[in-house]
Structure 1
């Protein structure tokens, strides 16, 4: 199998992780690039949809003794200390990332939004059940989770975004809003949220 001869990645390839992903990289690319993925702790195919070749090889620009051997194999180091990836390896990596991104974006935007809504309202088990019984109709669950991670909106405890709701229903020409309590998770202890750098789970103040 040669990555340059592939025109599309199968669903099994896109969903590969850990040992299956390592076997694919070792077969479709080569042992030298496989060492690069192992070095960067890349363990699944979907994680490559949001990175570039330069980001993948950025670690090779640093003067690290343990990387000397792989740097000699994958490229050259100029007198100013900058690492230059061999053109053959760059083309191979660009081809792999291009195939992954095209596969990730193969679903229409409306279908992706519907899948995201279905995952949020129905939950993981409901979504996986429907996806398995409707072959190729819905994106893989890892792609839906990637859509959620790429969303810049952060939900904070006790924060009401009425202005955002107003802008949304005005843009969609909607006059009614139905709301309900989010009971997807009950917090029984104090938790730390790294994204917002706060602790949650305390009793909220009553503000008029």
Structure 2
């Protein structure tokens, strides 16, 4: 984990935070850093997450002599004897925190997207390199299309393949078998005998109990 990520709890920001605007955005800012910073952003029409992350310095407006800022300056700054204003450290830290946590959330989502793309590429490459996987993928795709068209293709073969693929990644003591496979196993044992049953069970791993 990145060292910066340890300093901030990114879970306070929802995954769709970059779509926030208007009241929804200001409510988030209010919750995280308080009403004074909300007012600083509002008066500059910084009314969305996207607008905020594209703002280099939301406090630079205090360098200007604007009458509309007088009330906000009184709450957010100290007035020096020479008439200059110095921003309160709490306001500066609040904006730094807000900027950092939103940018870290952005980096996290970008890294997740890259990771998902890498996984998709690996899966695509894996499927193309293995004829069995490629055939299974095509078969499952066909099954889903037929189910979407209202055609019930739930057969013993699909149950058996599902059972095998679900069991293969597990240790043998965690193998599980659906009812259809269990009934088939009983029939096979009765009709084929113990030797036939054991031969099939040992050679098709994960297929039979």
What is the TM-score of this pair, normalised by structure 2?
0.45
Bigger radius of gyration, 1 or 2? 2
What is the TM-score of this pair, normalised by structure 1?
0.45
